[in-house]
Structure formats: C-alpha cells, structure tokens
C-alpha cells in the first residue's frame, strides 16, 4: 500500500488493500511463535488463520510500525538524489510486515470479532494514526517527493508511473505536508481522535444490534411469518436456552422479513423501533456525541488544510469533484423519486382503509403493505421465489456468468486455512488454468460479524520480482441461514447483493497493475461501485435467472411465468427504495458540508435535514445518523452518494451489452481490460470512455428505476 495513505481511515472503512512487498531482511524478532514473523507455509500463501491468535496482533503491528518507520527514514535520508525508483516506487513497496498483519487484523475485526480484537483495535488505532502522520508530515521525505514531482515532465514516465507520482504528491499535500509545525501537531491530534471515535461508533452499532431480542412465546404472534423464518427463530431460541419460544433479532435476515410479513402490528412496531433507535438510546452504546465530535473534527481538519468543508476535501479526488455536483445529481433524482414514493404511500393507505382498519400508515407498516400490494397487483409473493434461489445455486450462477464473460473457473479448496467454519474458499483460474487468485466467501450472520455485506482483501494484487503475485479476496454477507429442512434460500434482494459483492471481488481478483497502491479497488469511491453494480444487472436477466434459478427440492428451473411476474414488478416500490437511499445520501452531505461547528442535538440536525427535502413521515433515511456505519465507521463520508453516481455508470455500461448480447466477448474483453484490470492507473472517466466510447447518460438509470416517465434529465459535472 502507498505508505502516505491514511491507515486510520482504511482501518475505519473495513476494506484493506495493503501491499505485501518482500520481507525486510532483519533479524528475526523474539516472537518466534508468532506466524506474522514467518513466511506463510500455506496453499497460495494465504494467512494461516488456525495458527493466528489474538495475542499475535499487537506485537506484530508494533514491530511492523518500527520496521516501516526505519524504511521510510532510509528513503527520506538517502544520499542519492531523489528519483522515481528510489523514492516513489520505494515507498510503494515499504511496510511489508505492517501490511501483512493489518490485512488480516482489520478484515477479522469486521467479520469475526470479539472483545479482545475490539480492545486491540482501540489500542493500535492511535499508534497507526501517529505512524501514518509521521510519514505524511515528514519534511525530508516530502522534499524528495516534491523534487521528483517538480521534474516529472523530464522523467519519461509511463502512464502508471505518472499516476503513482501524482497520487503520492497530492496525498502528501492533502495530508498537511505544507502546514506549519503548529498546525501539523493540531492535525495529528485530530487524526488520532477520529481514528478512535470511528472504531467506537462501529462497535457501538454492533453491540446495540446484538443486545436486542424480540422473544415471542405465543404461536399466534407468529401469524403471517414464513415457515423458514419461524424455523430460524426457533433455532435461535433453542441456542439461547429458550426452547419452545422464538427469537427475532436486528440482523437483516431476521428483522426485515419480520417487518415484511408479521401480521401483529404492535410487534412490528416494537422491533422497528429497536432497529431505528440503535445508537440513540442514551446508554453506553449511544453514538450521538461521537457523531457531533466526528463531524466537527472533520470540518476542522478540512479547514486546517485549506478547504471550506470536509466534503470539499473528500470530493476533490472523486469523479464528482465538488459537493455542488453531487447535490445537483441527487436533487435531479429526488423530485421524481419522492413523487413516486408519495403515490406508493397513498396506495398503501387506500388498502388499509379498505380493510376496515383505522390507522395512518407508519414506517413499520411499509414493508408489510408493500408485500400485500405486490401480491395483489402482480400475483407475486416473495416467498414463492426463494425456493428457486438456494445460496449454492446462486453461487454457481455467478460463477457461470463470470465464466461466460471472462473465461474464469472456480474450484473449491477444501484443505485451506479458514477463519470460521461458515467460510468457503475457491481457487480462481483463467480458461487456460493460470492461477488468478483465491476467493473466500462468508455469508451467514453471527454476533461476531457486523451487519451488511462487503468485499475485502487479505492480499491485494502486486508484482514481485517482475511477476504477478495473485490476490486473496473475501466477500462477506449476512444472508438467511439454512434450516433443518432447507438450504440457505435467498430473497431476490439477497441474490442481487451476492452478485454485487461478486463484482467487487472480480475487481480485486482481475487487477493486473505494477504498483499495488493503484491495484484493484484503489479507485475513487464514486467509481468503485461500477464493477459491483454492473454485475447486478445480469442477476435479473431471464436468461441468467434460468441458469441459477433451480428449485432446491425438485431441481425444476424457475418457470417463465414467475420470471415474467418478477419482471413486471421490477420497478415496484422503487419510489421508496430510491427515496430512502437519497435521504441518507443527502444526510451524509449535510453533515460534511458544515462550515461551522455542530452545536445542537444530532437528532434535531437529522430532523431538520429531512424536513428541508420534504421526506414524508412514512419513510426514514436508509441509515439514520446513529447507525450510519458507512460514513462514521467506514470510508464513505461525503461519499454515500457514490452508489447512485455509479448507478448512472453501470446502467449505461450494461446498456452496451443489451445493445449487442449479454455475453458479447468483445465487450467483456473491453470491460475487463479497461476497468477491471486497470485499478486506479487512469482517471475513471477516461477508463469509462475507453470502454463505452462516450461519457455516460443518466436515462438508462431512470428507466431501470421506473422514474423515466416523470421527465428526462441529464447528468452534469461527471468529469
């Protein structure tokens, strides 16, 4: 990893693409039983998870910091005149041990954490923040970087070298290299405090999620719930020593279908309130003060560095470039999305009234009545779809799509280290058998795993002695578990999530660049979702659905009639889905376009933000402030909009396949070579235009979401 990038920021994001250069030739430390101090003697040199113990992490991180600091000092104080190779390239390959241990520690802290790991994370966060600042604020090192930068036009660098030099120089400047010594010290303090606050925020959300249970004792209170959900709830209760009862939790595979199907409105209200009040209960897990501190510290840091706001600072290096461009896109979509959402709410209220009930539609009613209207309007029940979407079948479908597009094959690895019994692993190969990388998959919820779904890497792609060293990639999710009578059966939303994360995995696996700082997903935030979101398009194609849609009992292919129903309902409830997402994106921007400190209550700030855009009471933001992990415990501050920005790209890019064929070999080759393999070696819009032949059009996105009938609009400021 490029050593001037913020380790603390990456740690908070939970996505780590650290470099692994050859080990520094130093005397072996005394921790002889610590696997991080040895070469991994495992298949494909994956981490030896079974040998790694919690007590191994901190000593290895501390020694990694020491070694990395020594390498940086050697570069900064070298007698030779600064060159690209002895300064910029040397920094890119520095920090092998630190990369090695953090690329295991932080993914595990998200996917399989415990009290010990959480405690270690808090202890090392300030150490890593200080180490990162020591590099970025080193005047001798910056002088050498600037010397190379100043003569860049005479160096005859290739395109990838030019990008690495530009990224390195800009990162130093954006990290405070030009500040006075007093301001540098102030910046160090801000970075250290933010690193700790971000960790605490995420741990609070996880603890709050795990600490709630809805325990049902009466069978009649299960009315409306699918059999598989009830079976999982009974298993959850049995595991908790409450056999004969049913436990529902705030993990998505439990809470969301409960809200979707439970006839008992009071119980829907109870679990909904627990879900949307996470981090906001004035207890030891409360996140409101953390949010205020983080928003103010981010603003203070941005202004210290010469920017008006944190969003201005972040977006300078994005495709969007400015907050104004992001607001423009979101505002364009907000009006049609809200209009559709209001009509959806009216339809639900009409159904409520027609049933003889006398209450106003509330947020905890939305999913329940959405399902009823879907059934009424399209004769489609989400539960009748799930038997065709077993996890194994969907996985094979993703493998097949990838094989047809890129010729890749996937072979399960049985005898390979894993960090949990739920994990599976695959060797990914080219059509000719060449090794591409290793892919781990971890899909079921547990208390040791944070919510959501994500991709990360235990080793990102790199070059070693002129040869490509293959990546070790992982995708993690929280899908519905198997039951005693059935395998893991997915909703179509979960199918889309699988394909989404699989797209991220391909971006990491197929990377083929020289400098690891530019490898794989090391691209601007509003471009990184293009490879993931374009994969979702194949999941919904009838031709593809027939490849993986197999009934888990009979093996029957999903019938055309059911596919047609799904297609007819494809834009159903998109007003809600788009509105709740846009509301969260705008909330993110509002926190990070502050020019003066936030002094009031966080709940009042959120309420004012939503009132300003006219969000209806029946809908809340997809993530309320106190559990908005993406922006307060992840890498998406000022960047949650990126899903919709990338949505413009992926919808337009996929249109190219629709215009030719779903598996057109030339288009697939072009997308692989111009996007998936290139990492961050070129400007994103240049890579997109190389593939598409032009800049993107927003119209395919509007059509996909059913918003096109409300007026065509154009994307501006995209480059």
Residue 708 pLDDT: 76
d(CA 108, CA 118): 10
Q: What is the DSSP letter of 472?
A: E
Average pLDDT for the chain: 93
Q: Where residue 72 sits, what CATH number does that domain have? A: 1.10.1370.40
Taking the mean position of all CA atoms in its chain, how far away is CA 272? 24
Nearest CA among 491, 450, 109 for reference residue 251: 450
Looking at the domain assignment, is residue 477 inside a domain? yes
24: pLDDT confidence band, cut at 50, 70 and 90?
A: very low
d(CA 201, CA 580): 22
Whether residue 95 sits in one domain with residue 35: yes
Whether residue 219 sits in one domain with residue 160: no
Predicted confidence (pLDDT) at residue 16 exceeds the cutoff of 90 = no
d(CA 249, CA 263): 17
Question: CB burial class (10 A; 0-12, 13-18, 19+) of residue 158?
Answer: exposed
Q: What is the DSSP letter of 565?
A: H
Angle (deg, nearest 10), helices 574-592 and 323-354 = 140
Residue 650 pLDDT: 97
Count the domains in the chain.
Answer: 3
Residue 484 pLDDT: 87
Measured torsion, CA atoms of residues 270, 273, 274, 276, in degrees rounded to the nearest 10: 150
Whether residue 220 sits in one domain with residue 126: no
Q: Residue 710: which residues within 8 A CB-CB, separation 6 or more?
A: 335, 336, 339, 340
- Helix count and strand count (H, E) for the chain: 28, 9
Looking at the domain assignment, is residue 361 inside a domain? no
Place of tokens 């006075």: 180
Whether residue 80 sits in one domain with residue 13: yes
707: pLDDT confidence band, cut at 50, 70 and 90?
A: confident
Range of the domain at 67: 7-196
Whether residue 148 sits in one domain with residue 28: yes
512 with 468: CB under 8 angstroms? yes
Q: List, in sequence order, every residue forming a beta bridge with 459; answer none if it has no partner.
A: 472
Looking at the domain assignment, is residue 474 inside a domain? yes
Q: How far apart are the first and last CA of the chain?
A: 26
Looking at the domain assignment, is residue 362 inside a domain? no
C-alpha distances in Å from residue 164, one per residue of 87, 160, 234, 511, 631: 11, 6, 54, 16, 27
Nearest CA among 593, 139, 526 for reference residue 319: 526
525 with 642: CB under 8 angstroms? yes
d(CA 81, CA 83): 6
Residue after which a domain boundary falls, among 477, 500, 524: 524
Residue after which a domain boundary falls, among 482, 498, 524: 524
Average pLDDT of span 516-525: 96
Whether residue 192 sits in one domain with residue 89: yes
Whether residue 402 sits in one domain with residue 517: yes
d(CA 24, CA 500): 37
3-state secondary structure 379-409: CCCHHHHHHHEEHHHHHHHHHHHHHHHHCCE
Convert the pLDDT of each residue in 523-532 to its tens digit: 999 999 999 9
The DSSP code sequence of 182-205 is HHHHHHHHHHHHHHHHHHHHHHHH
Convert the pLDDT of each residue in 354-372 to its tens digit: 999 999 999 999 999 999 9
Whether residue 415 sits in one domain with residue 270: no
The DSSP code sequence of 653-694 is HHHHHHHS-TT-HHHHHHHIIIIITTTTSS-HHHHHHHHHSS
Looking at the domain assignment, is residue 316 inside a domain? no
Convert the pLDDT of each residue in 331-350 to its tens digit: 999 999 999 999 999 999 99
Helix (H, G, I), strand (E, B) or coil at 463: strand
Predicted confidence (pLDDT) at residue 515 exceeds the cutoff of 80 = yes
Looking at the domain assignment, is residue 181 inside a domain? yes
How, if at all, do strands 462-464 and 467-469 pair?
antiparallel
Residue 32 pLDDT: 65
Convert the pLDDT of each residue in 666-705 to its tens digit: 999 999 999 999 999 999 999 999 999 999 999 999 899 8
Looking at the domain assignment, is residue 250 inside a domain? yes
219 is catalytic: no
691 with 642: CB under 8 angstroms? no
Residue after which a domain boundary falls, among 165, 196, 227: 196
Whether residue 138 sits in one domain with residue 19: yes
Convert the pLDDT of each residue in 235-271 to its tens digit: 999 999 999 999 999 999 999 999 999 999 999 999 9
Looking at the domain assignment, is residue 640 inside a domain? no
Whether residue 229 sits in one domain with residue 188: no
Whether residue 142 sits in one domain with residue 42: yes
Convert the pLDDT of each residue in 582-634 to its tens digit: 999 999 999 999 999 999 999 999 999 999 999 999 999 999 999 999 999 99
Residue 382 pLDDT: 84
- Selected catalytic residue, list 494, 501, 516, 529: 501
Element holding 168 (H helix, E strand):
helix 159-174
Measured torsion, CA atoms of residues 41, 410, 541, 504, in degrees rounded to the nearest 10: 20
Q: Where residue 440 sits, what CATH number does that domain have? A: 3.40.390.10
Place of tokens 């096109």: 708
Count of alpha carbons within 13 angstroms of residue 471, beta-carbon side:
30
CB atoms within 10 A of CB 565: 18
Q: Residue 392: which residues within 8 A CB-CB, separation 6 or more?
A: 487, 488
Convert the pLDDT of each residue in 531-571 to its tens digit: 999 999 999 999 999 999 999 999 999 999 999 999 999 99
Helix (H, G, I), strand (E, B) or coil at 232: helix
d(CA 685, CA 674): 11
Whether residue 222 sits in one domain with residue 191: no
Predicted confidence (pLDDT) at residue 233 exceeds the cutoff of 70 = yes
C-alpha distances in Å from residue 322, one per residue of 168, 303, 604: 21, 15, 26
Longest Cα–Cα distance of the chain, Å, equals 85
């Amino acid at each position: 990893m490029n050593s001037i990038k913020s380790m603390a920021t990456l740690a908070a994001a939970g996505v780590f693409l650290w470099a692994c250069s050859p080990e520094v030739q130093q005397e072996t430390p005394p921790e002889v039983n610590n696997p991080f101090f040895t070469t991994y003697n495992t298949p494909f040199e994956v981490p030896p998870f079974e040998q790694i113990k919690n007590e191994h992490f901190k000593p290895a991180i501390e020694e990694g910091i020491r070694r990395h600091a020594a390498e940086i000092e050697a570069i900064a104080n070298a007698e030779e005149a600064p060159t690209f190779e002895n300064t910029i390239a040397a920094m890119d390959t520095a920090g092998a041990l630190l990369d090695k241990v953090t690329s295991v520690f932080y993914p595990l802290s998200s996917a399989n954490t415990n009290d010990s790991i959480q405690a270690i994370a808090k202890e090392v966060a300030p150490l890593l923040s200080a180490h990162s600042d020591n590099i970025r604020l080193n005047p001798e090192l910056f002088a050498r970087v600037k010397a190379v930068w100043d003569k860049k036009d005479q160096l005859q660098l290739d395109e990838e070298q030019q990008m690495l030099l530009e990224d390195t120089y800009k990162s130093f400047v954006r990290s405070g290299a030009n500040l006075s010594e007093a301001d540098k010290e102030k910046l160090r303090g801000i970075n250290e405090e933010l690193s700790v606050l971000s960790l605490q925020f995420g741990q609070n959300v996880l603890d709050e999620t795990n600490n709630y249970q809805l325990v049902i004792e009466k069978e009649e209170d299960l009315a409306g719930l699918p059999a598989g959900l009830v079976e999982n709830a009974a298993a959850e209760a049995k595991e908790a020593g409450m056999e004969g009862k049913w436990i529902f939790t705030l993990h998505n595979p439990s809470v969301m279908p409960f809200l979707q199907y439970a006839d008992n409105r009071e119980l829907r209200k109870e679990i909904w309130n627990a879900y949307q009040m996470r981090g906001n209960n004035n207890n030891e897990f409360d996140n409101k003060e953390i949010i205020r501190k983080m928003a103010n510290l981010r603003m203070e840091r941005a202004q210290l560095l010469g920017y008006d706001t944190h969003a201005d600072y972040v977006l300078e290096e994005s495709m969007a470039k400015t907050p104004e461009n992001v607001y423009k896109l979101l505002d364009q979509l907000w009006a049609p999305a809200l209009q559709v959402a209001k009509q959806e709410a009216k339809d639900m209220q009409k159904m409520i009234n027609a049933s003889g009930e006398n209450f106003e539609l509330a947020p905890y009613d939305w999913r329940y009545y959405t399902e009823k209207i879907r059934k009424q309007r399209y004769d489609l029940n989400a539960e009748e779809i799930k038997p065709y979407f077993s996890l194994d079948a969907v996985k094979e479908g993703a493998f097949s799509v990838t094989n047809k597009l890129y010729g890749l094959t996937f072979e399960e690895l049985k005898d390979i280290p894993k960090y949990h019994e739920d994990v599976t692993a695959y060797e990914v190969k080219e059509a000719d058998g060449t090794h591409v990388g290793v892919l781990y998959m971890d899909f079921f919820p547990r208390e040791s795993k944070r919510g959501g779904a994500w991709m990360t890497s235990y080793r990102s792609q790199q070059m070693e002695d002129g040869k490509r060293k293959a990546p070790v990639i992982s995708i993690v999710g929280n899908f519905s578990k198997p039951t005693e009578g059935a395998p893991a059966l997915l909703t179509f939303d979960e199918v889309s999530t699988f394909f989404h994360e699989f797209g991220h995995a391909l971006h990491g696996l197929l990377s083929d660049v020289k400098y690891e700082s530019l490898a794989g997903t090391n691209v601007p935030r509003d471009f990184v979702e293009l490879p993931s979101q374009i994969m979702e398009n194949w999941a919904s194609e009838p031709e593809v659905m027939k490849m993986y849609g197999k009934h888990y009992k009979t093996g029957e292919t999903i019938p055309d009639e059911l596919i047609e129903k799904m297609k007819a309902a494809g834009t159903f409830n998109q007003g809600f889905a788009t509105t709740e997402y846009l509301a969260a994106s705008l909330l993110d921007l509002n926190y990070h376009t502050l020019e003066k400190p936030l002094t009031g209550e966080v709940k009042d700030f959120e309420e004012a933000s939503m009132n300003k855009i006219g969000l209806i009471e029946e809908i809340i933001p997809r993530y309320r402030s106190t559990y908005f992990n993406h922006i307060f415990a992840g890498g998406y501050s000022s960047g949650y909009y990126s899903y919709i920005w990338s949505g413009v790209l992926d919808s337009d890019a996929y249109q190219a396949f629709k215009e030719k064929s779903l598996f057109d070999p030339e288009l697939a080759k072009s997308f692989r070579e111009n996007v998936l393999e290139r990492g961050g070696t070129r400007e994103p819009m240049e890579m997109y235009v190389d593939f598409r032949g032009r800049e993107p059009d927003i119209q395919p996105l509007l059509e996909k979401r059913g918003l096109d009938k409300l007026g065509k609009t154009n994307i501006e400021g995209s480059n």
